[in-house]
Structure 1
């Protein structure tokens, strides 16, 4: 049952990315957007988190999340590994932050698509003592309790 819930949450994550067709032509636009922002913004304004999230019916979801804290924008790229053909999804949107993650009042929660309906929002968060590890959160903005790794790591 937990795998079904996790799969449903992952699918909601992908649907929320507003990917129109998943074709490679979208990749160019997204990459160019971040690249142009990198030229205009200080280097520390864009954080890139990477990792492989669990997948119920594949080898894992290779995920890259780029956060531009100056413009409050994000780009999310997900590739389902071990599928033939591999499925790639890309999306971008607006991001907002909230203070406090579980018992850490100084932790941070990122709300992807915060300006969309709640069903389209995705939550990631980090603890103040370890901002290099960004956790995928559940619909209640809580840590996903599992032995599997639901986190991305800061790529410096």
Structure 2
């Protein structure tokens, strides 16, 4: 009976040690996999689009549009190249999104300064099959048809 009791104690102790080791290992794996998941799949909250838009009286307008998709804010920086001195403009404000760009119901339109009078609003949009290419839109929210490049590209 004494041997059975000792053997039972050894089995219980062994099982509790193994259980503790497994728990620690599982915790470490879980923590590591969560950290990896958070780092690899964390969505970017600020989209940055860049490009050079056409200019009637300069070499081009170097444009950077930053859109904070969480706070619905934007910053639009424009540098007029070839001007003396170079003209730098920075606009900041609120942005809103609308679904549908021309015939693409899943396209997206960003309305910069949506909460201001229409004359102060600026429209950019992308087609659902190419969200990396953001087009400057006219006042009717249509893509500007031109041989010139009226688009910005997503900076990844």
Which SS does the other structure have where 1:119 is aligned?
Answer: helix
Q: Which residue pairs with 1:89 in the alignment?
A: 89
Count of equivalent residues: 115
Q: Which residue pairs with 2:13 in the alignment?
A: none
User: How far is the alpha carbon of 1:48 from its aligned partner?
Assistant: 0.2
- Structure 2: gaps spanning 5 or more residues: 1-41
Aligned mates of 2:62, 2:99 — CA distance in 1: 27
Relative to the length of structure 1, the TM-score reads: 0.73
Aligned mates of 1:69, 1:98 — CA distance in 2: 13
1:7-156 matches, cutoff 5 A? 44-156=44-156
- Of the two, which has the highest radius of gyration? 2
User: How far is the alpha carbon of 1:155 from its aligned partner?
Assistant: 0.3
User: How far is the alpha carbon of 1:43 from its aligned partner?
Assistant: 5.6
Which SS does the other structure have where 2:131 is aligned?
Answer: coil
Aligned mates of 2:151, 2:90 — CA distance in 1: 18
RMSD value, Cα: 0.8
Q: Which has the higher contact order (CA 8 A, sep 6+)?
A: 1
